Chain A
């Protein structure tokens, strides 16, 4: 059974690694194994494997990449889950990690925009922005409107990034802003791993599997 499993993994890795940019076959294999590991008892032979569910995925984000913002983790899950079936399939997992860990700036801009576009309408609206930044500042209870600071910040940022002045951030707006100032890539919440945890994660994931 194990041998069969291994064989299956290898063929899968072969096919996927051809479709995904940044991983070679061996790496893909490792990632598949990692995915299977995360799935744990979910993978019973004969049962259709639908993939990682939300909770497991978010656990992974928290444990491996130190993410804490539930909202952002949820958004990352949604972005990984391309077919929106509530599960991250092996393929989605590898495709997602490809950008997540090794994406080029272009890929990352696309990814981040997808994360921030809460309702997936192709635009980031003021409301979405406010929603994402809602907890980003300690409220000053002494102020008349404790939310004033955050609203002001949203307004400033919005003005800065909305180049075509249409009242919403299009992908073009976002891309331009990020290209001008790379710091704005993760403007509305951290949704990418930092260099250090990426390093640690890759080290762990790609080390030779035991028994080989």
Chain B
């Protein structure tokens, strides 16, 4: 309640002493809400209602003794309630005109007594008790309220400190009730406020101008006249005397409608209303409101003048014409596969925001749906500050006024570093704002205020933004353009001086950059690179290096073939020049096309050459400069290495060993780009091998222990990528890199670092030796803690690592003991596919333990896994199916459970239509498990599992063959399935499986054949396909089960043959 009273309620502005609540719709609804809260309080919360206030609420009431009935002791004008507190003081006391109330029950009764004076009473009460919560609960609660975030905790503390146990619960409850009311009130009034629009002088001005257009003679006439009461406009756009401006009044208007009497209107920030009749300046006492508030002039006029309402919509608005929208066309280049994931659109987004902001300044004032206050085409005409109306007015105005507008004009022209301020200034005097905020110039300028940000990666073309008129450009723009012209005319001495002068400007500012480009400066700067003048080249590159932080400039440089010149500069003898060229290339190569150009012009090779510096323990000054050149070279390679082909080019140019050498240098500013580049390159297998064979893992591991988080992040990320290879994983362990990785897990605040670290741990844990090592450092416990509250890129890796660790039985129990099962199962509901693949794998690994399975079962994990079979991603499908297998194995009543998965069995059978081998193999494995339950086997048979399995038998994929054979073996157990398999032609291909070299397939196949051989027709087929010879060979296997299956199968075939013989020749068996 406190918050809504101080923030939402509208108090009269002249707040001397006790303020008054204004009579506004918002306040009215506020009061009504509070009233109903109080009224219902004692019936809803009888306990809390009896709570005695810390201090009484007191106010001057209009109630008199006669208003009170039973339950009150009335003596003369004073009244006391019969309800008393523990010390015998009455809870309500009236000693006219003041009333004291000390509990909600009394307040409730009071408002009931007050009847039609209810609202008045509530209002008086609130006006005189500005902080009711404090009085009700004591001042300590007010301080509790201030820190909003963990106030509950402090609240509990507070209550404990100062209260007896019995009382405290009540107090807290009461507090929450009040708090709740407060929230409700706030949100309600917010809704109202958001409907109401605060007017600005600019908006009013616009609307008045619009209305003036309607005053023309003739048929279309809607109004007779519209005029201001004052011709003088203050610099803030108001036309009211200053002492009225504090009340929010913007201007007074006199409008003559065609059909009714003249309207005297006040436009204030709160809205538009009729006043007491202000005809001209200085008429006191007419300021008060005589009508209700309207949101703008048009709605007010519509309500007052039927003629206006009728005709306004028929107007043929010349003024309505929309500006050609400044939509931008995006040219999206086709991008390299690896880049698609990471286009950062912040830049564009920012621009959109600016645009929208500019729009927002305008839109709220649009009257109704149809009439739009869009600037007329005339308004756009460049160079005119006040192109519409007002010219006459200006003449009449005093000299000072003229001067002022001139000043504004000047100010706008040279809005330099203080642009932000100037912009807001210039937008307030309504006159310019309309055209400024709307036209692209405005947008462009607004854009220029925020210094153009550099982005790490962009792959879409930036929109072209060119100012339409030159009026509003700051002085730098012209100064730089002048310098560019000098640049074109000067000899080398002058050129260098001009370049130096240019560098004195803030080239990060987009205005400056645009100035250079618009005057053709980029061409000149790039041409300088092709001259022989070293100093000119250096000067030019110093500028290019700055401005190439802007994506638009980058593109322009690339379009002008600037990269070619820069690449050539890399051959120079002058070290400074090489370093600058490389640095600029590093900036420009932020987009794909540039990176390609660099490669095509031999840039990668040259850049790699820069890295070739002698290995020195104590470099001389000259060698330090070599190191600097190398650093810039690496920076450029880092940018370039974001394209796949460039990674390969770097490797081919021999860059990896050179990077490896730089990796041993102690300079941190060198190491970050070096490791960054390595990390980028490591996504290519060939580069990974090079990194490993060059012995860099050792250095990477060593660098992991530095104290720069960015560097650590790149290191971990490089290990993450390299540890795909087993040898690397072993190397990381051998160089004792596992422990530093585990230590990095503590840096939970740096999410990028955490993602890279967990990734490295994940990949390293693919090797079981590493897992054992990790367990020494209690990694599982840490990882389980990271399962909650982390971003997905971290979660993917954490879960991946857990999945790998859980391959060791002991770890499964540890995961359970640390409470890891539940968060893992919870993650099954996510949508990130990479995450789901890893989560299913981890859950599947955990499910191989009976105790874990119990928990998974309890959390309904199997159902969640099952629903992931519907995921469109095949990896998720197969991974989920694999995870289901151990679940079915270890759940007690798996069959029964499945029976209740509506449509679940049909779903899995239908997955046999998949074309993905892994999905098929996993689904076959699941089917083999399902088929162990007879009822379920019956169901899947009905769903046509037999022909579908049979259709798959021709596969050559060994993994699939094995699980398929298993599934067939188990599916034989129902009805006439054996015969059906034979009819579907599954037998002959199965026999061929025995020729495979994989013994696990033989085993499964032998079981399947055994089952199938119980059907005579199948025996014939098997025999025809030469199964006997194959099986006989396998009977010598060491595995007894396998031996037996093979032997039984041969037995079945043999028995059939004997029976056959017996039937034909009558032989005894």
Task: Give the chain A neighbours of B489 by CB distance below 8 A.
Answer: 137-138, 140, 149
- Using Cβ atoms and an 8 Å threshold, which residues of chain A touch B490? 136-138, 153
Bound CA–CA A160/B498 (angstroms): 11
- In this assembly, does B501 line the interface, its C-beta being within 8 Å of a C-beta of chain A? yes
**A188 within 8 Å of B by Cβ?**
yes
Question: Quick check: B535 and A186 within 8 Å, CB to CB?
Answer: yes
Asked if residues B538 and A137 are in contact (CB atoms below 8 Å), the reply is no
- Please report the C-alpha to C-alpha distance between residue A138 and residue B493 in the assembled complex, in whole angstroms: 12
6 contacts between A and B (CB under 8 A): A138-B490, A160-B504, A183-B500, A186-B535, A187-B500, A188-B493
Known: A135-B491, A183-B535. A160 touches B496 (CB 8 A): no
| Residues from chain B with Cβ under 8 Å of A125 in the complex | none
What's the Cα separation between A187 and B489 when bound, in Å? 17
Taken together as a complex, chains A and B put the C-alpha atoms of A157 and B485 apart, in Å, by: 16
Q: Which of A13-21, A82-90, A190-198 sits within the interface?
A: A190-198
How long is the Cα–Cα vector from A18 to B462 in the complex, in angstroms?
Answer: 64
- Of residues 483 through 513 on chain B, the ones whose CB sits less than 8 Å from some CB of chain A are 485-486, 489-494, 496-501, 503-504
Nearest A residue to B479 by beta-carbon distance? Answer: A156
Within the assembled complex, what's the spacing in Å between the Cα atoms of A135 and B489? 11
Chain B residue nearest to A184 in the complex (CB): B500
Minimum distance in angstroms from A31 CB to a CB of chain B = 23
Q: What 0/1 readout, one digit per residue, does chain A (139-176) give for beta carbons within 8 Å of chain B?
A: 01000000001101100110010000000000000000
Which one of B485, B493, B500, B574 contacts A181 once the chains associate, using CB atoms below 8 Å? B500
- Please give, as numbers and ranges, the residues of chain B lying within 8 Å of A183 by CB-CB distance: 496, 499-500, 535, 538-539, 542
Judged by a CB distance under 8 angstroms, whether B165 is at the interface is no
B503 engages A181 (CB within 8 Å): yes
Question: On chain B, which size bracket covers the interface?
Answer: 20 to 34
| CA A135 to CA B499, docked complex, whole Å | 18
Q: Besides A138-B489, A187-B497, 20 other CB < 8 A contacts? A: A133-B494, A136-B490, A136-B494, A137-B490, A138-B490, A149-B485, A152-B486, A153-B486, A153-B494, A153-B497, A156-B497, A157-B501, A182-B576, A183-B539, A183-B542, A184-B496, A188-B493, A194-B532, A194-B534, A199-B573
Is B500 a contact partner of A189 (Cβ separation < 8 A)?
A: no
CA distance A137 to B493 in the complex (A): 9
Given contacts A137-B491, A190-B492, contact A157 B574 (CB under 8 A): no
Q: How far is the CA of A137 from the CA of B499 in the complex (A)?
A: 14
Asked if A149 and B486 make an inter-chain contact with CB atoms under 8 angstroms apart, the answer reads yes
The residues of B that contact A157 with a CB separation of less than 8 Å are 497, 500-501
Residue of B nearest to A199 (CB): B573
CB interface residues, A 118-137, toward B, < 8 Å: 133, 135-137
Is B493 touching A186 in the complex (CB atoms < 8 A)?
yes
Q: Are A152 and B482 in contact (CB under 8 A)?
A: yes
Chain A residue contacts of B535, Cβ below 8 A: 183, 186
Shortest C-beta distance, A199 to chain B (Å), equals 8
In-complex Cβ contact of A186 among B496, B499, B501, B503 (8 A): B496
Contacts of A189 in B (CB 8 A): 493
Instruction: Point out the residues of chain A lying under 8 angstroms from B497, CB to CB.
Output: 133, 136, 153, 156-157, 184, 187
> How far is B496's CA from A153's CA once the two chains are assembled, in angstroms?
11
Please name all residues of chain B whose beta carbon is closer than 8 Å to the beta carbon of A194 when the two chains form the complex. Answer: 532, 534
CA distance A32 to B889 in the complex (A): 99
Chain B window 512-532, contacts with chain A (Cβ cutoff 8 Å), 1 for yes, 0 for no: 000000000000000000001
The 8 A-B pairs of least Cβ separation, nearest first, read: A136-B494, A138-B489, A137-B490, A136-B493, A137-B489, A156-B501, A136-B491, A137-B494
CB distance from A186 to the nearest CB of B (A): 7
User: Using an 8 Å CB-CB cutoff, how does the interface string of B183-214 with A read, 1 for contact, 0 for none?
Assistant: 00000000000000000000000000000000
- Distance to closest chain A CB from B491 (angstroms): 5
CA distance A157 to B497 in the complex (A): 7
B498 — which chain A residues lie within 8 A by C-beta? 153
How many angstroms between the C-alpha atoms of A152 and B576 in the bound complex?
Answer: 30
A residues within 8 A CB of B573?
195-196, 199
Please tell me which one of the listed residues B482, B494, B496, B574 contacts residue A195 in the complex, with CB atoms under 8 A apart: B574
On chain B, the residues within 8 Å of A196 by CB distance are 573
Q: Considering the complex, which residues of chain B in the window 121-167 have a beta carbon less than 8 Å from any beta carbon of chain A?
A: none
Whether B574 contacts A133 by the Cβ 8 Å rule is no
CA distance A189 to B495 in the complex (A): 11
In the complex formed, the residue of B with least CB distance to A157 is B497
Nearest-CB distance from B1015 to chain A (Å)? Answer: 92
Tell me the complex Cα distance, A135–B492, Å: 11
Chain A residue contacts of B494, Cβ below 8 A:
133, 136-137, 150, 153
Q: How far in angstroms is the closest Cβ of chain A from B40? A: 76
| Alpha-carbon distance between A149 and B482 when the two chains are bound, in angstroms | 9
> In the assembled complex, which residues on chain A have CB atoms less than 8 Å from the CB atom of B491?
135-137
B539: chain A residues within 8 A (beta carbon): 183
Residues in A with CB closer than 8 Å to B492 are: 190
* Inter-chain contacts of A184 with B (CB < 8 A): 496-497, 500
The answer to whether residues A190 and B501 also contact, given A183-B539, A195-B573 and a CB cut-off of 8 A, is: no
Residues in chain B near residue A140, CB distance under 8 A: 489
Q: Which residues of B contact A133 (CB under 8 A)?
A: 493-494, 497
What's the least CB distance linking A60 to chain B, in Å? 21
Which residues from chain B contact A187 at a C-beta distance below 8 Å? 493, 496-497, 500
Query: Could you tell me the distance between the alpha carbons of A156 and B534 in the complex, rounded to whole angstroms?
Result: 23
Question: How far, in angstroms, from A194 to B531 measured CA to CA in the complex?
Answer: 13
Contacts of A199 in B (CB 8 A): 573
Residues of B within 8 A of A160 (CB): 500-501, 504
Q: Which residue of A lies closest to B575 (CB)?
A: A195
Question: Out of A149, A190, A195, which one reaches B493, CB within 8 Å?
Answer: A190
* Cβ–Cβ < 8 Å partners of A188 in chain B: 493
Q: How close is B352's CB to chain A, nearest CB, in angstroms?
A: 38
Please name the residue on chain B nearest to A191 by beta carbon: B493
**Which of A133, A140, A153 has the most CB atoms of chain B within a 10 A radius of its CB?**
A153
With A and B bound together, what is the CA distance between A138 and B503 in angstroms?
A: 22
Q: A188 to B493, alpha carbons, bound, how many Å?
A: 6
CA distance A183 to B497 in the complex (A): 8
Minimum distance in angstroms from B588 CB to a CB of chain A: 22
- Cα separation A189 to B485 with both chains bound (whole Å): 20
- In whole angstroms, what is the CA distance A188 to B497 when docked? 8
In angstroms, Cα B497 to Cα A187, docked, is 6
Nearest opposing residue in chain B for A194, CB measure:
B534
B485 partner residues in chain A, CB cutoff 8 A: 149
